[in-house]
Structure formats: structure tokens, C-alpha cells
Chains A and B, each alone.
Chain A
Amino acid sequence: MNAQKAREFFSAYHDGTLDRALRQSFERRLKADAELEAEYREFEAVMRRLDALKNVSVDVPADLHERISAKLDKHIYESKRKATSGLGAWWKSLVLGGAACAFLVVAILAVNSFGDERVSTAGTPVVTQPPVLVEENGSLRLQFELPKRAQQTTLVVRDAISGSVLSETVLAPGAELDRPITNGGDDPALMSLEFGDGNKILVAVPGRRQAPETSGTGALTDYALALASRFKVFVRIDAINPAEKATWTFDGTDPMATKATSGDQIVSLSRVRGSLYKISL
């Protein structure tokens, strides 16, 4: 065992988790190498100092809870305010679907790229088409137009379970942007596509593995993940309460499963006013 290898075992030896043969080899190395042994003694001292840190008190600000509550209240207020303005109406009819490929590509095309651009007689551009989904070489593209007078906005793609940001993209009218959003894991992922105006799309993205399960009980989000994993489709969740309970059986009678296997590109899981229904293009 050389010195470099021995250093890799410092922690394991300190923890007492080396097997007998490795431990003996390590100890022989220390005995034979005074410099390495001195390093290990220093390593032990560092470990003691690190362990002592838990006894060092940290003063918690007296107003910490108020600060957290204030920031949370502000966030909730701004989210609700944004939900009633901005690009809101556009996204109500937006759905996402998927083929076997796990790419979701966001593209913004300039107003002029749509064939039937209409401009008001006053010269102010208007929205020419609702958002469009296009499949291209196994990838999905989301196309939409921003009125020229619109401010640039930001698309944040977030892991809806952990909250971590996966990507952040500034969207500007007239610019073209391609950003694949992939799920490289085996299991389906729940992703939140958040637009700067407060609108949010929750979508289940299939992973590499196809789930063997054909039935289950859980929340709407679990149902969406099960659909995504079983049928390798994107599933958008459009519900007031995504945690609402759902039960599913993919036995040929489930309407969502029928849709997912029919070749339709769009699969949307929605529950509005207590009714479960689907939307497709």
C-alpha cells in the first residue's frame, strides 16, 4: 500500500470500518513511514477539532421566525397576484404530451415566423395563434408568441420534489431558444415549469425505466407519474389540488391510459370542480 492509497483510508481507519487485512496493511504502512504517520496524527487532531464544533453554540436571531414568515407571506401574495394577470389566459389551454423520447424543448419564435400573422389596423401586434406543440425528430417543441410590448420573462425548470432549480432561461420576444429538459434517471420525475409571470406548469416526465405496476392509489401527482412511467408520455397536471386522492387501474378501462396509448401526443390530467377529464389536441 503506497502513501497515497493509505491517505484514502484515513477516515475508514479512524471510523474502524476497514476489514482486517486492509487494517493490517494500513498499520504496516504507518509504521514504515514516519511522515505518513505524522500526517495521520494531524488528521486525527483535525477530526477532534471538527467533532468539537458541535459544542460551539450558534446564536439564532430572535426575529428569525418573523423573517421567514414575512418572506413566505410575500411570496404567497405575489404568486396569487401574478396568477391573475400577465400571460395567464394563454396557459390555461396549454398541454404537454410526449412520445418515447424524454426531451422537452422550449422554443420561442418571432411573431413573423407564424404563417398567418395578423396585425391590428392600429399597427399593434396581437397574438396570432394559441401555443402550439410540434413534434420534431422525437423531440417536443413548445412554441408561443409574446406580444412585442411584453416584457421579457424567465422560464425556470425545477424539480418539483426537491425544489432544486434544473435550469433557468430568460425568454425574450423575437428570440429563438432551444432548451432540452431531460430526465436521465430510471424513474419518472415531477418537474415544475415556472414562468416569470407566476404561471406554472407541473409535468411528469418519464424516466428510462417502464414501470411494471398497472394499478395504484395516491395523489394526482402519483397518478401522473404512474402514467408517465407506464406509457412513456409526458403528463401535465392541471388541478387546483395536485395532492387530491386518485385511484387507477391500467386495465383498458382507464380513460387516461387509453389516451396515452392511442398515439395522441397530448396527455393532460386535469381535475376541475371535482370532475376528472382529459384534454387533447
Chain B
Amino acid sequence: MTHGFSDDAVLIRRCQQGDRAAFDDLVRRHERRAYQYAFRLTSNPEEAADIVADAFIRIYNALQNFRSQSAFTTWMYRILTNCYLDLRKKEKNRQTVSLDAAVQTDGSEVERQIEDEGAGPAQEVEKMAREQAVQDAIQRLPEYQRAMLVMYHVEMLSYEQIAESLDLPLGTVKSRLNRARLSLRDLLAGNEELFQLD
């Protein structure tokens, strides 16, 4: 990781001197991770790609002022999260139906039935169904809770890195993450399969 940190620092210095190719390299180093994070937040590939592109434009504009006091990735997560929250603000009233969204039948929610001729063993299907249920529930959380959960559990950021990314006190991050997990548990309550041991 230290090696990666210094690689970023070298690229950033070159970018700050006007080297556009260096910025291109910087994007290539981080775009996959950025996209995966954005996709986890949105579950929408188009939105995720837009968020990543907008984030790298902001990074390009602000890179002159970046002082490398924190890791570039920490700063990148902050900008990605801000782009995501800005997008949500703009699209607050837009309603779209995703193929991955649950539909309601008879008062209970089930997944859309998508024929999959290549379905694996029953356990694999069950595992995928559980994963989908958790991802759907995460999408129903408030944006800020969603971002924190993804940062911690998927992107593997520490509490301290999340605090730095979101510019929040450490204690606030911990309590909000706890609240997010409790909310998720409430959303998933009643899904008996989820709480079965593997």
C-alpha cells in the first residue's frame, strides 16, 4: 500500500505540473475501484459511470490544491460520495423501475423471476438470492447510511478512513454505521432465510 501511495504521489506531482498523460494514468489506476464503489451505491451502471466521470472531472479541477496529506483514495472516496449525493438530490423525484427491484405480490416482496437456464446448484441460487435481498435492502437505506456501509463492508475502509473521507468525527462514523446496520436488520427482518447460518 505504501508503494501505491508513493506511486500516486508521483503521478499527482506530474499532474500538478500540467502533465495530462499523468492524469490519464491516475484515472486508469483508480477507475475500477471508483466504479465498483459507485455501482454499489446506485446499482445502476449508467449512473455509476456518470458519477465516476464527474468525480474525476472534479479531481482534475481540484488537483492543484491537493497536498497529499491524506491518501489520494481517501480524497477520491469523498469526491465520489459527494457526486453520488449531488446526483441523488437532482433526481429525488425521478422514479425508475430496475429489473433488480423487488415487486410486490400478495403483500410480500419477491424478486422478479428471471429465467436462468444456467442456474447452478440450489445452494448457489439461494446464496445469490440472499445477496440480492441484502443489496436491495441497502438500496432502501438513506444515501448517507448506504455510503457508509459500502465504504466499510465492501470497500474495506477503516472507521478512521471513513471519518477522513466524509469529514466526520470518528465517534459519529461509528454510531451512524451502527444505526445503518440496525436499519438494515429492520429492513431484512422477516426474511427467515437470511438469518439462517450458512
A-side residues, CB < 8 A to B, are 7-8, 10-12, 39, 41-43, 45-54, 56, 58-61, 64-65, 67-69, 71-72, 75-76, 160-165, 190, 192, 219, 221, 241-243
Contact = CB atoms under 8 A, between A and B. Distances in A.
A71 B57 contact: yes
Given A61-B45, A65-B31, 13 more contacts: A42-B189, A50-B153, A50-B181, A53-B40, A58-B39, A61-B35, A65-B28, A68-B31, A69-B24, A76-B60, A160-B65, A162-B167, A165-B86
Given A42-B195, A161-B62, A61 B36 contact: no
Interface in B19-77: 24, 27-28, 31-32, 35-36, 39-40, 45, 49, 52-54, 56-62, 64-66, 75
Contacts of B167: 162
Contact of A221 (B36, B53, B64, B178): B64
B64 A162 contact: no
Interface size class of B (residues with CB under 8 A): 35 or more
A256 to B, nearest CB: 19
A218 B49 CA distance: 35
A45 B194 contact: yes
A222 to B, nearest CB: 8
Contact of B52 (A59, A64, A76, A160): A64
Contacts of B31: 60, 64-65, 68
Nearest to A225: B65
Contacts of B86: 165
A66 to B, nearest CB: 10
B61 A163 contact: yes
B35 A60 contact: yes
Contact of B64 (A10, A43, A65, A242): A242
Q: 8 closest pairs, A vs B, by CB? A: A163-B58, A11-B178, A50-B153, A71-B53, A45-B195, A164-B82, A243-B64, A58-B36
A12 B177 CA distance: 10
Given A53-B131, A53-B153, A69-B24, A10 B182 contact: yes
Contact of A53 (B27, B135, B195): B135
Given A45-B195, A51-B153, A162-B75, A60 B36 contact: yes
A48 B131 CA distance: 11
A87 to B, nearest CB: 20
B184 interface: yes
B139 interface: no
B182 A7 contact: yes
B154 interface: yes
B175 interface: yes
Given A11-B174, A60-B32, A72 B75 contact: no
A43 B179 CA distance: 11
B27 A68 contact: yes
A252 to B, nearest CB: 28
15 contacts: A12-B174, A12-B178, A42-B188, A45-B197, A46-B188, A50-B149, A50-B184, A51-B153, A53-B154, A54-B154, A68-B53, A165-B82, A192-B61, A219-B65, A241-B18
Contacts of B61: 163, 192
Interface of B: 16-18, 24, 27-28, 31-32, 35-36, 39-40, 45, 49, 52-54, 56-62, 64-66, 75, 78-79, 82, 86, 130-131, 134-135, 149, 153-156, 167, 174-175, 177-178, 181-182, 184-185, 188-189, 194-198
- Give the residue among B66, B155, B195 with the most A Cβ atoms within 10 A: B195
A45 to B, nearest CB: 4
Given A8-B175, A67-B49, A163 B134 contact: no
Contacts of A56: 131, 135
Contacts of A12: 174, 178
Nearest to B155: A54
B175 A243 contact: no
Nearest to B35: A60
Given A64-B31, A65-B28, A221-B64, A43 B131 contact: no
Nearest to A63: B49
Given A8-B178, A42-B189, A45-B195, A161 B27 contact: no
Contacts of A49: 130-131, 134, 194
B181 A46 contact: yes
